[in-house]
Structure 1
Amino acid sequence: MSFLERMKDEILIADGAMGTLLYSYGTDSCFENLNLSHAEQIQQIHEAYILAGANLIQTNTYAANYLKLQRYGLEEQVKEINTYAVRNARNAIKKDAYVVGTIGGIRGIRPNTVSIEEIKRSFREQLYCLLLEGVDGILLETYYDLEELEHVLAITRKETDLPIIAQVSLHEVGILQDQTPISEALSRLEKLGADVVGLNCRLGPHHMLLTLEGIPLPKQAYLSSYPNASIPAYTDGKFHYEGDSEYFRQSARDFRNQGVRLLGGCCGTTPDHIRAFAKELKGLPPITEKKVKNSKKIIISNSSATLREDPPLQDIVKERASIIVELDPPKKLNTDKFFEGAKALENIGIDAITLADNSLASPRICNSAIGYRIKKEIGTRPLIHITCRDRNIIGLQSHLMGLHTLGLHDVLAVTGDPARVGDFPGASSVYDMSSFELIQMIKQLNAGLSISGKDLGEKTAFSVGAAFNPNVKSLDRAVQRLEKKIEYGADYFISQPIFSEEKLIEVHGAIKHLKKPLYIGLMPLTSSKNAEYLHHEVPGIKISDSIRARMAELKDDSILAAREGIAITKSLIDAATELFNGIYLITPFMRYEISVELSAYAHETSAKISRRRQNAEVTIN
């Protein structure tokens, strides 16, 4: 009799965590590889769960796929690891127990990191290995991304008639991270052929039961639930769980009353937790009718408490010539010169001051703090750069929520220079996200949703800029990155500095099909050494041989060299304003007077071009 047939009249008990026990024993590497190196230890854990009362145990194969084993250089051992995992489980069971082959989700809170095609290829290989070894069913568990689970479930149903358990994981009670209500998600899984549908991981008994209250009994499938033991604690460099087995015993009947027919445990659970479930539910039949509580319908606000008081930059630069200037926050706490420069730039009429986020991985005064002061004290629009380097996903969302609260709505999403290039080479680079994903995250906040799918109560109003590096061997590939950033939600672009008219023309031709505007980056050189350093050592900057030669001729005269750098930039402004509405000036070494002079020149040049074009139109008409 299959375990699915037994579930018609019984509540089956599943096992608990494997990785938690291995971690507690001091194993902190690739748990799946232990199927080969420590088979006896794996079998002992399976046996412990069976002795605790588990009817159904899962193979130690959660991450035994090509994509995840690749992290350990074990991607060529997919077949061997999965094969021995099934054999270890089979060797552990006695009568009245079943072995299901476990395949875990790959996508997490960042669904776009791995394509569906890659997932499907990796999944098929693992699935075939488990099926060939003769499992009693397949367990698809810990899927945060419903799209991924639907694809792999469809593959599984096509390849086997064995029972399939399909389980999603939630960040928030009642909804998936893409805002799909849990009842709808489980219904879709049932229609795709899952025999058991349910929840596992992330939530403990309390929140999992709250979610189950809004889930009706499936029409053809059965419900499952594998709660975590508790929220994990982190002490002395190790994770541990403090949820006790008595708490699980007390919740066991509540799981039964919500219609669960397969009850196990996930992270932090041990044989003691499973024993508590088994003893409390022994002999109790499953329920066949259930009253469902009306789950609260999630309504995303159509308004924002902090509405924009000014048009976004992308609208400004589409309509007219626009100048923005980068003025780096100071490395030291004295801000007098910085604010002198900010006031001077405001007086000359620029549209925004852009504030880098610890450029070149060197700590500076927080750009959001100094940006808020610029806006309040001077009235200038701050454009806040946000790097992926310094904050994890939690910190990024918190930072963005803070910017929204401060009324700072203009941001530039960038990857950020790695920590090793800066003042603290031993510091960690986080990179939880790429710039693409950061753009997408900001746009999701604009829809009123956190990255986990939670309703934020109101929408943010961010205008999202993205970086463009035209100083690469293949400009076509750089433009393809722009197109991808547009897909993720970028509103406009800011380029790395360009140092030749030829490159300006080339860039204009390469991006003219794009509907998003571009601010062309221009950086005045101050000396020959400055030019050589930028060209040879700073990522994303290349200076033509002719300009470096011009600067080299004046290497012994710092004043003339600086004037030559300004002259070169003015000639580039002449060329750029013929082709682009947006000019992005980068202030060298806090010498704001240079940016003031160039901003005034850019205004004059734009006005001349505008008058000339108007006169030409009058003549034609």
Structure 2
Amino acid sequence: MNLNERLLIFDGAMGTYYASSCNNPLPKCELANIHDKKTILNIHKEYIKAGAGAIKTNTFGANKISLECDFDVMKEAIVSGYEIAKEATEGTDVLVFADIGPIPFLEKVDLWVGYKEIIDIFLSLGASNFIFETFSSDEYLIEISEYIKEKNSKAFILTEFAVSPEGVTRLGKSGKKLLNTMLKAKTIDACGFNCFSGPYHLLQYSKTLDIKDKTISMMPNSGYPSMINNRVFFDNTKEYFAEQMLEIARQGVTILGGCCGTTPEYIKEMVDKLKGLEVHNILNDGRQIETTEGLKQEKLQEKKALTEEVKDEKRVNKNPLLEKLERGEKIIAVELDPPINTEIDFFISGAKRLKGQGIDAITIADCPIARARVDSSLLACKLKRELDITAIPHMTCRDRNINATKALLLGLNVEGINNVLVVTGDPIPSADREEIKGVFSFNSSILSSYIRELNETTFSSPFNVCGALNLNVRNFSNELEKAQKKIDNGITMFLTQPVLTEEAMENLKLARKKLNAKILGGIIPVVSYRNACFMNNEISGINVSEEIIERYKDVSKEEATRLAVEISTGIATEMSSYVDGFYIITPFKRIDIVSEIVSNIKNNIFTYN
């Protein structure tokens, strides 16, 4: 199927159109293949009558996880869905594409096995055209395409990703990079974008892509969605949609269709508009897309001007932390908890005291244990602006979606904050879950990948992205695998959980051998016997050795303070050869203890090194 100089027009939405076509639609439209075949058949026929040259089977979410079913029900939905589509195209030249959407990720579920099950069913039915749509990453797609081609070398495989208007998927992946990866794969015939964005956004995005001599698809939503009475509506008209698709075709996109909110009327309007442009598609007489050399040159000039404009505006803020580490010097970062109210005198005075001692950075937790405190990013800006202190705000994935996260990162970048610690975040305490909802639309690994992409495309000064490393987990090899994935996604520095056991120290040594990243060893002073027991039993990610706990039994506050400094300094000395610096967590506002530990590190460890 050669589409470099011709158009293939797909159908539009199935899910949203099915829901609007029935008085009592099934909540999972793929199950209508079993229980409401006539409606699905009629929808396919409507799209064919509208002029679609290819239709997708009603199987986008036909997997065991999405349908919450067993294999037999899933198979019945796929088989029936394929048969309905084939029936709809009888006596026509319309192509049937086996539609496969992303299988939702669940722990202990092998997604590769899940995809193979679905593909094997389609192959057994004689399917030779496949569309993998609305994906957010390329995970498994190349392996899947290779598997299909081994079974059917003549199969046509189209992959599509859902990107925001900025060209980033919900998993923080760059649409351009995904496109290039797919097009380099010998077993993938075409690639493009669908869903998430409307036609205008995908038109603008298409102008930034190098798609010459490539088979590219664009199947946008009908427009940008709005909420009315808790239901999603797409307000744009079919005429507007068709106009934008006309311009997308002029960019050289040769596979066109619609996603959420589009209907047969949208596809008919688009087909009519493209006919008026005198294009070659499977429905008419073979004339080429109206693309002039002038349009190509205009596009190149526009792209060049935009690049120069961005280059001129680029400014880079220095990053003292990275500069010091690159010189081979160790650094000290101290964590101060943000206040639970607007009284910040202690926080500011503590930061001033630590700056006077020459610490390199203040880290600020982002609403630890899911309780609201003063925003870490705002405090970081205050420290930078008023005290010229390097701050590392923590940024959790619990409380913000991708839009809010990007907005916050833009603000930090403007303020000259260029170090962040990304963490998934503590879950909401169970008693609060009915009133307070965590977001968790991505995790720290995905967030780091997203920031890396923004570093390359958006930020005037790149962020140094830090991550957390738990030295106290039982399965540390699994933690190392997660850490490596974080490094692959852009994390360059790890702040570890506190070391208070021999096991944690050994894990730190192993991390130094295995991970190609900077490591700040975690230290938290134990201030009392009660505190030691509490941390050991109540705080996730912290283990305290029995030996340390025993040393605090029946001692005075003064003696406990001395022990806190002594033990913490000893741990810092032991870990010094395996870290690039120290990450000291302040307990219960005990700046006095942290201050002594900092002095000991500077006067003894740094001097010795």
Under a length normalisation based on structure 2, what TM-score does the superposition of the two structures give? Answer: 0.81
The structural deviation recorded for 1:608 is: 5.4
For residue 495 of structure 2, give the secondary structure of its aligned residue in structure 1.
Answer: strand
Matches within 5 A, 1:283-322: 285-288=285-288, 290-292=290-292, 293-294=295-296, 295-296=299-300, 297=303, 299=307, 305-313=314-322, 315-316=324-325, 319-322=328-331
Alpha-carbon distance change, 72 to 228 in structure 1, aligned in 2, over 3 angstroms? same
Mark the runs of 5 or more structure 2 residues left unpaired by the alignment.
277-282
Aligned to 2:96: 100
Paired residue type of 2:125: E
Alpha-carbon distance change, 188 to 415 in structure 1, aligned in 2, over 3 angstroms? closer
Q: Say whether residues 1:525 and 2:526 are aligned partners.
A: yes
Aligned to 2:32: 34
Question: For the Cα contact (< 8 Å) 1:105–1:142, is it kept in 2?
Answer: yes
Equivalent position to 1:60, from 58, 61, 65: 58
How far, CA to CA, are the matches of 2:384 and 2:210 in structure 1? 52
For residue 55 of structure 2, give the secondary structure of its aligned residue in structure 1.
Answer: strand
Equivalent position to 2:228, from 185, 210, 235: 235
The structural deviation recorded for 1:573 is: 3.6
Question: For the Cα contact (< 8 Å) 2:59–2:99, is it kept in 1?
Answer: yes
Deviations 1:480-509 (A, max 9, x none): 433333333332221111224674356335
Paired residue type of 1:131: L
Aligned to 1:575: 574
Paired residue type of 2:237: D
Mark the runs of 5 or more structure 1 residues left unpaired by the alignment.
450-455, 611-621
Deviations 1:401-434 (A, max 9, x none): 2211111112212221112269777422222222
For residue 325 of structure 1, give the secondary structure of its aligned residue in structure 2.
Answer: strand
How far, CA to CA, are the matches of 1:398 and 1:174 in structure 2? 13
For residue 443 of structure 1, give the secondary structure of its aligned residue in structure 2.
Answer: helix
What CA RMSD, in Å, does the superposition of the two structures yield over aligned residues? 4.2
The structural deviation recorded for 1:332 is: 0.8
How far, CA to CA, are the matches of 1:255 and 1:377 in structure 2? 49
For residue 543 of structure 2, give the secondary structure of its aligned residue in structure 1.
Answer: coil
Equivalent position to 2:448, from 430, 439, 450: 439
How far, CA to CA, are the matches of 1:27 and 1:382 in structure 2? 53
For residue 373 of structure 1, give the secondary structure of its aligned residue in structure 2.
Answer: helix
Alpha-carbon distance change, 304 to 104 in structure 1, aligned in 2, over 3 angstroms? farther
How far, CA to CA, are the matches of 1:416 and 1:229 in structure 2? 35
Q: Say whether residues 1:548 and 2:549 are aligned partners.
A: yes
The structural deviation recorded for 1:558 is: 4.4
How far, CA to CA, are the matches of 2:409 and 2:153 in structure 1? 48
Aligned to 1:18: 14
Deviations 1:292-341 (A, max 9, x none): 53234474967884423343247438733432211111111011111111
Question: For the Cα contact (< 8 Å) 1:146–1:168, is it kept in 2?
Answer: no
Paired residue type of 1:81: A
How far, CA to CA, are the matches of 2:529 and 2:42 in structure 1? 70
Under a length normalisation based on structure 1, what TM-score does the superposition of the two structures give? Answer: 0.80
Alpha-carbon distance change, 94 to 59 in structure 1, aligned in 2, over 3 angstroms? same
Question: For the Cα contact (< 8 Å) 2:508–2:578, is it kept in 1?
Answer: no
Paired residue type of 1:565: A
Aligned to 1:615: none
How far, CA to CA, are the matches of 1:352 and 1:250 in structure 2? 53
Alpha-carbon distance change, 560 to 259 in structure 1, aligned in 2, over 3 angstroms? closer
The structural deviation recorded for 1:592 is: 1.7
Rg comparison, structure with higher value: 1
The structural deviation recorded for 1:18 is: 0.6
For residue 81 of structure 1, give the secondary structure of its aligned residue in structure 2.
Answer: helix
For residue 319 of structure 1, give the secondary structure of its aligned residue in structure 2.
Answer: coil
How far, CA to CA, are the matches of 1:461 and 1:255 in structure 2? 32
Aligned to 2:512: 511
Q: Say whether residues 1:80 and 2:76 are aligned partners.
A: yes
Equivalent position to 2:258, from 245, 260, 265: 265
Aligned to 1:537: 538
How far, CA to CA, are the matches of 1:363 and 1:396 in structure 2? 17
Alpha-carbon distance change, 157 to 396 in structure 1, aligned in 2, over 3 angstroms? same
How many residue pairs align between the two structures?
586
Paired residue type of 1:409: N
Question: For the Cα contact (< 8 Å) 1:302–1:459, is it kept in 2?
Answer: no
How far, CA to CA, are the matches of 1:410 and 1:513 in structure 2? 24
How far, CA to CA, are the matches of 1:13 and 1:302 in structure 2? 39
Alpha-carbon distance change, 592 to 474 in structure 1, aligned in 2, over 3 angstroms? same
Question: For the Cα contact (< 8 Å) 1:14–1:265, is it kept in 2?
Answer: yes
Matches within 5 A, 1:74-473: 74=70, 77-93=73-89, 95-96=91-92, 98=94, 100-106=96-102, 121-135=113-127, 137-142=129-134, 152-160=144-152, 164=156, 166=158, 168-169=160-161, 171=163, 178=174, 180=176, 194=189, 200-206=194-200, 226-248=219-241, 264-277=257-270, 281=275, 285-288=285-288, 290-292=290-292, 293-294=295-296, 295-296=299-300, 297=303, 299=307, 305-313=314-322, 315-316=324-325, 319-420=328-429, 426-446=435-455, 448-449=456-457, 456=458, 459-473=460-474
Aligned to 2:583: 584
The structural deviation recorded for 1:28 is: 7.3
